[in-house]
Amino acid sequence: MKNIKITRKITQGMYVLTTKEGGCIVDAVSQVSAGDEPLISVAVMKSNYTNELLKKNNKFSLSILSKDVNPEIIKTFGFNTGRKINKFENTKTTKIEEIDVINDSIGYMVCEIVDFIENDTHTLFIGKVIEADVFEEKEPMSYGYYQEHKEELLKVTTQKGKTAWVCSVCGYIYYAEELPEDFRCPICKVGKEYFKKQ
């Protein structure tokens, strides 16, 4: 393969997918049919807790994030697991069709799951839109924009006087002079080569 990074040029957005009791950030969303109740597909990593929850629930919601979304939403839903924290604790949401929709978004679609396809790493869920609304006319954040501005969006402040290693993918901070030999980020699982000393 000459350069797989070309896949980053596929126009994808940034969304918070929520279902009962959980949610995560997704980017691989697309509309697969039109009409009054269009079908939407979304890919969710198999290792995500949200994937487990989706298989127990028949509905999910996609909240569309704008370019000026509070980055805390991306951090909370993208770099934590619902197995350990309650992602809704510090996030303002509105219940629509029993699902928590993110208030700090351009709008949402609530979908009923009609089908799913498994591959090695992800499950592709297909949902029929049963409710949707636009909150605000704003420019959506694309996945490409997020990749380019990740560093400033996820900027972290470390404690003074301590050597900190910051995960360049998710912003996790590890305080130590050196990283352990087989170190991996406990949040996003990347190797130590993704850590920058601060």
Q: How far apart are CA 95 and CA 6, in angstroms?
A: 38
- Using rule CB under 5 A, residue 172 touches Fe ion: yes
Nearest to 94 by CA among 14, 16, 13: 16
The Cα 33–Cα 146 span in angstroms is 27
Give Cα 84 distance to the centre of its chain. Answer: 16
- Interaction pattern, residues 116-155, with Fe ion; x per rule: CB under 5 A: ----------------------------------------
Q: Does residue 179 touch Fe ion according to CB under 5 A?
A: no
Give me the least distance between CB of 154 and Fe ion, in Å please: 10
Buried b (16+ CB within 10 A) or exposed e, 19-49: beebbbbbbbbeeeeeeeeebbbbbbeeebb
Which residue number, 54 or 185, has a Cβ lying nearer to Fe ion? 185
Member of 120, 187, 192, 198 binding Fe ion (CB under 5 A): 187
Q: Which residues pair with 31 in a beta bridge?
A: 40
- Is residue 170 near Fe ion by the rule CB under 5 A? yes
Segment near Fe ion (CB under 5 A); pick from 9-17, 35-43, 102-110, 182-190 = 182-190
Shortest distance in whole angstroms from residue 185 CB to Fe ion: 3
Q: Which residues bind Fe ion (CB under 5 A)?
A: 167, 169-170, 172, 185, 187-188
